[in-house]
Chain A
Amino acid sequence: MKRLLLTMSLLLCCTMVFSQTITGTVTDSQGTPLPGVSIVVDQTAKGTSTDFDGNYTINATSSQVLVFTYVGMKTLKKSVGSDSVIDVVLTEDAQSLDEVVVTALGISRDKKSLGYATQEVDGEDFNLTNEQNVLGSLSGRVAGVQVTGASGASMGGTQKIKIRGVNSISGGDQPLIVIDGTPISNANFSGSDQADYGNLAQDINPNDIAEVNVLKGPAASALYGIRGQFGVIMITTKKGKKGPRKVDVQLSSSFSMESAYNFIPLQNMYGGGSSQTFRTLPNGDPYVDMSVDESWGPKMDGTPVRQVFSFYPQDPQYGQLTPFVAHPNNVEDYYKTGTTFNNSITITGGNENTSIRLSANDTRVEGVVPNTSLNRNNVGLSASLNLTDNLVVSSNINYAGNEGQRPSQGSEYGGAYMVQWFQRNLDMNRLRDYKYNDGTFLHWNLGRPDSSTGEISDFEPLYWNNPYFEAYENLSNDSRDRFFGDIGMSYKIIPELEVSGFIRTDMYTQNIEQRQAFGGTRLPSYSVGKYQNKEFNYELLAQYKNTWDKFSLDATVGGNIYDRDYSYLSQSTVGGLSSPGFYNIAASIDRPDTKSYKLRKKIRSFYSLVSLGYDGTYFIDASIRNDNSSALPKDNNSYWYPSVSGSVVFSELIDWTPLSFGKIRASYAQAGSDLSPYQTSLNYGVGTVYNGTNTLYVPDELNNPNIEPSFSNSFEAGLELNFFSNRLGFDFTYYQQKNKNQILNLDVSGTSGYSSSIINAGLIENDGFELSINATPIRSEDFSWDFTFNINKNNSEVVELAPGIDVYTYDSTTYSSVSSYLNSYEGEPFGSLVGQAYERDEATGEILLDDNNMPLYTDATHNFGTVLPDFNGGFQNTFRIGQFTVTGMIDFQGGGQFFSRSKMLAVRTGQDALTVATNDNGMNVRDPLDQGGGVKVTGISASTGEDVTAYVDARSYYRNTLGRRIYEEWLYDASYVKLRELRVQYNLGKNIMDKLPFETMSFALIARNPIMIWQEAPKGINPSEISTGAQSISWYESGQLPSVRSYGINLNVTF
């Protein structure tokens, strides 16, 4: 296949015959070669561009003129004459930073004319280290964007993105993802537990991305209406080029190895059990208490004991005593080395009136969790054809196919439970052979042996399966086929007026299957779901562009029809399966649980945008949009909202050499918002059928026929400054956003008969600043250094909630009947963590102790403050040293907090290293109190009011009090600094390339998530990866999979 393509491209090249071949090198004034300089033969469509070393080759006749153009440089024209070698030096052009950016609706604009902040990320940045999920690569690269990821062990797991803080009291404020003008779904099928399928934007092939532009505020995104209210991530893919006929083929291969790291430090002194003395069999042999899933047991001092496997008659060590010792790495040993292979081919071509780009990508991942994998295929085709001089048809078609077998994660699911509940004496290498030859399974958590026979007869595990049983028997499979793209046509009626129409679609079918196998803790079961989503956007646009003298006008009117059709069918067995190994709904013992669901939604929109410019210095934009949403009540479903922005390029007005560009800008916008369908009418739920008696119920969520659209108002102002021929640039933005009368699913007192009610209420305000700095401190022939630094700070305040309601519960979680909440309080920042705290003496702040000297605790209403970070950002550095390019991406976050249930349980179950600390008597905290052991507590006695310093039993303290009731102890600051990506690339020099049949060739070493440079939270919990599932705010961690670091190599060839 590859050979065929090579031959084809050679043939194409050979068919081009020209009179004179001209070669040369293009450099800047310092002599640094400039790659990618466009060279066109004037008055023709023939052209080429320089390679990495600034070299070019072009055919032209002696009478023709070559035109050299490059962003930020003065355009240069050079007559060919008789020279066959033409070297040129381009000089910087401070005046012409005419950077063109793609804005809302795909309209290209001069960046300098925009009155609002946008920030672009180059496509290259998405391919540094083979990140599987596009959104993950945005972390730290755009000021004002916060990305919270999930462990790499999930292979393309959830990446959540927030732009400029939380702008919705109900948290549902994910930005819209638009690729080549087509809005696509970024849905997420995961819950907080079990498999993390990730957000659907991962279907975008990072290799196809030319540029990503983040539209941060409503001013930028107003034209996307409802769905763009929380910002837009505009992705532009690479395209073929019209011009001289040319074909490029690019091959890229990479291979990386992944390994799990960052484990909670665990103790290696005490093994499984609840007492430090062994239980004994009738014959006097001690045994490990396999009914206890904690490590408060006897010392692991090598005593010969009966361990769990010795009770299985089919086990080779049946009946044998083996030393009771620690297996310090038992949790680590479970994870294996993962691998990722990525191969892609891209063919780009074009001639005078056609351009085409075809890409194919194949990714195969084997995860660090045993028996997990992900295969992904992407195929993309984009083509554009000039039918006549005035009529262009174009199309983008993308296919993404995914097949995953993913690990379960989350509270007590899959193998992730091992940090939460386990025995330190368990040998993972022993558990790995989880299946005996007779088909039965080895588990570790069983009921105790019979006290008269000393045998175990019931081998059904109690609470936990062997983690390998989870990995190999309880499978979770998912697959998705997806097509997205557009076909369109544009017609120039007159040179200034272009009319275009597009049909855009995004359609996918998601399949999810889960099994609970025979022989485990849970009732065997099978569930299967098929989820289909079809979204169409029909778009019609007319754009008029003209200039008169110093005035310029750019006006657009358009309309859009959005049509969504979603359905699913999900089924699960009830009461067990009828025959082992047969996983099918037909195997359900009782009436299976089935759900069928359909959803339809339409939005019709009309919009208009006018931009006026004067003298390339003063610009003003105004837009208006009308939306008509089918999800709103019929007589209140149409609404209008405007935006206005302006900018002044003041560097045009002052003449100060160091300043190469200066602009101030300001904008104001309103954006409207609706809700999901079917929330405006009252319905009933369908209950369980009892022996032919059918039941219906009043739903817990109270719908509202009087709901109104809600609006946000935003204001932003910014300053852009570039100095020293654009080698140093600042972009500063201050913004303010008020989201009022939001459509909330407000938690109400259940005594009203409902748990929540859809209402219009509330006001949330965010303000903050964003700063990005671009600089090229060093630029010479052999060495250059570029960096980009981004930081933003956001403040939020929930100004008001509903009348009579001053708390909004966003989410809650309950464990061992202790609840914690994520609440928003009127007058406070969004999202406070609420739960049980130490009860403290009011005067001194000391912890109050009960009569047993155990800390007292409050009820679950203590407010610990917001979970949102104070600031976050990123720092990307690129060094070019000769043929080497080194790129490093660091992202960071300051402040914010979360609750870690994994840490809490590791302590509660006596696994955490903390539970074997040495106290100030020099004794282990687990030693008896009368020998100087115990945990030292200080505080004030609640009953006597006197200061107390005492030693308490470690197990009671950690297991029954701290690890169960006092959540204050398990809250961690979410600050971190992380080296996210590192790439060292070597480009083969020209002299080597001349001997090879390739145009360019490069090798790179890549590392993803190699180092967490610093984190405030204790080791073993990763504050940058606490996001799982569809929920938009991450506020607690439970059963997080370990962090994964990835090292690999990458080979790129073009010819």
Chain B
Amino acid sequence: MKNIYINTLLIALFITSCSNFDEDINTNPNVPSQASGMQLIAQAELSLPGLSSSPQGEFMSQYLAETQYVGTSLYPQQSTSFYGWYQGPLADLQAVITSDNLTGTEGPIENQIAVAKILKAYYFWNLTDRWGDIPYSEALKGQEDFTPIYDSQESIYKDLFAELKEASNMIVTGNLSNDIIYDGDISKWKKFSNTVRMLMALRLSEVDPATAQAEFVSAIDDGVFTSNDDNLFFQHLADANNQNYWYGQIVNQNREWWALTEGLVDQMKPVNDPRLPIYGNPARDSGEYVGMLYGDEVNLGTQEYSLLGDAIYAQDAPVYLVTYAQVLFAMAEASQRGWIAGDTASFYESAIESSILQWTGNTDTVADFMMEPGIAFNDAIGIEQIATQRWVHLFMFGYEAWAEWRRTGFPNMMVSPNGAAVPARLSYPDNEAFNNEVNYNEALDRQFGGEDSIYGQLWWDE
């Protein structure tokens, strides 16, 4: 009797061991298997402030000086990784662009794809301006290609122009939901696309003026920003999950590491720039605005210098990325170069006015400021004036200001601590030498004679 019982058990065990498992046993219950287009786009939008919020960018454009670990953080001699951008926002946007199951519940599918393409182009533009040639055409393909080639910056620019045009053209009527940046207003996305194209075109002013002018004019014709309401900025929240980077550093981590540079204060203080009280705080010991010499390793301190302004590092402080004032500065420069018609001085003044409005919230001080010595437009030094004022405006988006400095050479009072000049690019991530060796070496040979130096010049940096 017992034997029968045990034998049955035995047989039962073997039978079950041959049959299949429950259908869903290897289905991950902890994460979703579906994502909507706008959920992925919103995630990619969360990375936007990261384009600006880093001490590194502020050092490149000498906005901020280090009060403590100067030697440590001057310029990134070592590699700077771009992996996060590809793995983060670009992979999310690519998933939208290549998705075959988008639905219209969050707005027209064409518009979702258009926004994804625009943001993708914007991210890639930022990347190529920092590193030079980068993986582009073969990038973001996952298993299909783990070792993408590095495309030339020239070809990337060319393709980005085309992509942005295509994206603008595919936009149809109908707003989107679940959009952090423009609250789904598709017309603003279209203006943003054209504005990026315009600013990209300006970047080619030295290397290829003809293309630069053509793309610039074409972008304006398609419709660029018309007021600060169109600005692309990331509004942080008074919520630790969505707070400003600088708040985490200065308040949460108690790092009083950043003072305004002497160069910046010297530019703003003598002309009573109304933005200075926003950019920085008065030095604690003197109550005055005192800049710190960039890269100074001797006279360190936090009492003696103007530290980063309260409004800049507030938990919910916005991060400005693409602004109407930039559009106006660009138009001023374009008219100065003869690319477009119009009065350079009035573009220039409007640009300053928009900048002051953006930073201070009003235009009350604009008239007085324009009267300050050296502020009114002077045609003889037009490009320099425009570039220098643009540098003041671009405060805290150091990487963008650095790109404009590389293109124009202004402002021209950058210092070289211990002989260290402002870099011309970032060096590639050193694990590319492990993960993508052939293409990495090929890109270095092609551009910089094999050396991954931060002083290698980019294609457009003539």
Is B78 interfacial (CB-CB < 8 Å)? yes
Is A100 interfacial (CB-CB < 8 Å)? no
Contact B42 A693 (CB under 8 A): yes
Which of B15-23, B153-161, B213-221, B325-333 faces chain A? B15-23
Which of B186-194, B393-401, B430-438 faces chain A? B430-438
Contact A697 B92 (CB under 8 A): yes
Contact A751 B82 (CB under 8 A): yes
Q: A451-B303, A452-B285, A561-B17 are in contact. Are A749 and B148 (CB under 8 A)?
A: yes
Q: A559-B13, A589-B240, A694-B39 are in contact. Are A704 and B143 (CB under 8 A)?
A: yes
Contact with B along A586-605 (1 / 0, CB 8 A): 00011101001110111011
Is A817 interfacial (CB-CB < 8 Å)? yes
A747 contact set on B, CB distance < 8 A: 431, 434-435
Is A29 interfacial (CB-CB < 8 Å)? no
B461 CB, min distance to chain A CBs, angstroms: 22
Q: A682-B33, A704-B143, A750-B87 are in contact. Are A860 and B39 (CB under 8 A)?
A: no
A559 to B145, CA, bound (A): 43
Q: Which residue of B lies closest to A678 (CB)?
A: B28
Is A218 interfacial (CB-CB < 8 Å)? no
Is B374 interfacial (CB-CB < 8 Å)? no
A686 contact set on B, CB distance < 8 A: 31-32
Cross-chain contact of A596 among B27, B30, B72 (Cβ < 8 A): B30
Cross-chain contact of A753 among B17, B33, B90, B429 (Cβ < 8 A): B90
A794 to B452, CA, bound (A): 38
A452 to B286, CA, bound (A): 9
Is A288 interfacial (CB-CB < 8 Å)? no
A983 to B433, CA, bound (A): 53
Contact A689 B139 (CB under 8 A): no
Q: A460-B254, A698-B91, A859-B452 are in contact. Are A754 and B304 (CB under 8 A)?
A: no
Is A964 interfacial (CB-CB < 8 Å)? yes
Interface of B is mostly: loop
A755 to B87, CA, bound (A): 7
Chain B interface bracket (under 10, 10 to 19, 20 to 34, 35 or more): 35 or more
Q: Which residue of A lies closest to B88 (CB)?
A: A697
Which of A20-28, A47-55, A257-265, A801-809 faces chain B? A801-809
Q: A604-B16, A690-B242 are in contact. Are A451 and B285 (CB under 8 A)?
A: yes
Is A521 interfacial (CB-CB < 8 Å)? yes
Contact B146 A752 (CB under 8 A): yes
A576 to B301, CA, bound (A): 28
Contact with B along A704-737 (1 / 0, CB 8 A): 1000000000000000000000000000000000
A807 to B42, CA, bound (A): 35
B57 CB, min distance to chain A CBs, angstroms: 15
Contact B46 A695 (CB under 8 A): yes
B56 CB, min distance to chain A CBs, angstroms: 9
Contact B147 A600 (CB under 8 A): no
Contact B242 A606 (CB under 8 A): no
A431 CB, min distance to chain B CBs, angstroms: 19
B31 contact set on A, CB distance < 8 A: 683-686, 699
Cross-chain contact of A807 among B10, B43, B72, B434 (Cβ < 8 A): B434
Contact A702 B13 (CB under 8 A): no
B window 6-62: CB within 8 A of A: 6, 9-10, 13-14, 16-18, 20-21, 25-36, 39-40, 42-43, 46
Contact B39 A695 (CB under 8 A): yes
A604 to B19, CA, bound (A): 10
B353 CB, min distance to chain A CBs, angstroms: 31
Is B3 interfacial (CB-CB < 8 Å)? yes
Is A555 interfacial (CB-CB < 8 Å)? no
B452 contact set on A, CB distance < 8 A: 859
Contact B91 A819 (CB under 8 A): no
A13 contact set on B, CB distance < 8 A: none
A923 CB, min distance to chain B CBs, angstroms: 23
Contact A598 B29 (CB under 8 A): yes
Contact A693 B179 (CB under 8 A): yes
Q: Which residue of B lies closest to A293 (CB)?
A: B68
Is B317 interfacial (CB-CB < 8 Å)? no
Is A937 interfacial (CB-CB < 8 Å)? no
B window 233-270: CB within 8 A of A: 237, 239-243, 252-256
Is B112 interfacial (CB-CB < 8 Å)? no
Is A432 interfacial (CB-CB < 8 Å)? no
Contact A696 B145 (CB under 8 A): no
Is A393 interfacial (CB-CB < 8 Å)? no
Is A861 interfacial (CB-CB < 8 Å)? yes
B40 contact set on A, CB distance < 8 A: 684, 695-698
Contact A696 B43 (CB under 8 A): yes
Contact A678 B26 (CB under 8 A): yes
Cross-chain contact of A684 among B32, B76, B90 (Cβ < 8 A): B32
B284 contact set on A, CB distance < 8 A: 450
Q: Which of the listed residues A450, A600, A752, A755 has the most CB atoms from chain B within 10 Å of its own CB?
A: A752
Contact A630 B16 (CB under 8 A): no
Q: A499-B6, A540-B10 are in contact. Are A753 and B141 (CB under 8 A)?
A: yes
Is A461 interfacial (CB-CB < 8 Å)? yes
A859 contact set on B, CB distance < 8 A: 78-79, 430, 433, 452
Is A575 interfacial (CB-CB < 8 Å)? yes
Is A581 interfacial (CB-CB < 8 Å)? no
B232 CB, min distance to chain A CBs, angstroms: 16
Q: A448-B302, A700-B87 are in contact. Are A634 and B42 (CB under 8 A)?
A: no
Contact B94 A681 (CB under 8 A): no
Is B448 interfacial (CB-CB < 8 Å)? no
A639 to B26, CA, bound (A): 18
Contact with A along B407-445 (1 / 0, CB 8 A): 000000000000000000000011111111100000000
Is A823 interfacial (CB-CB < 8 Å)? yes
A501 to B94, CA, bound (A): 54
Q: Which residue of B lies closest to A691 (CB)?
A: B237
B window 300-344: CB within 8 A of A: 300-304
Is B280 interfacial (CB-CB < 8 Å)? no
Contact B180 A690 (CB under 8 A): yes
A511 CB, min distance to chain B CBs, angstroms: 20
A964 contact set on B, CB distance < 8 A: 72
Is B228 interfacial (CB-CB < 8 Å)? no
Contact B78 A817 (CB under 8 A): yes
Contact B26 A680 (CB under 8 A): yes
Is A688 interfacial (CB-CB < 8 Å)? yes
B42 contact set on A, CB distance < 8 A: 687, 690, 693-695
Q: A687-B43, A752-B140, A860-B78 are in contact. Are A630 and B83 (CB under 8 A)?
A: no
Query: Sorted from nearest, which 3 A-B pairs have the closest CB atoms?
Result: A750-B83, A575-B240, A678-B28
Q: Contacts A753-B94, A753-B141 known; list 7 others, CB within 8 Å.
A: A448-B302, A491-B6, A590-B241, A605-B17, A637-B21, A750-B83, A817-B78
A sample of 13 cross-chain residue pairs with beta-carbon separation below 8 angstroms, ordered by A number, consists of A606-B17, A684-B34, A684-B40, A687-B43, A691-B237, A693-B42, A693-B178, A749-B435, A750-B84, A751-B82, A751-B134, A816-B72, A860-B430
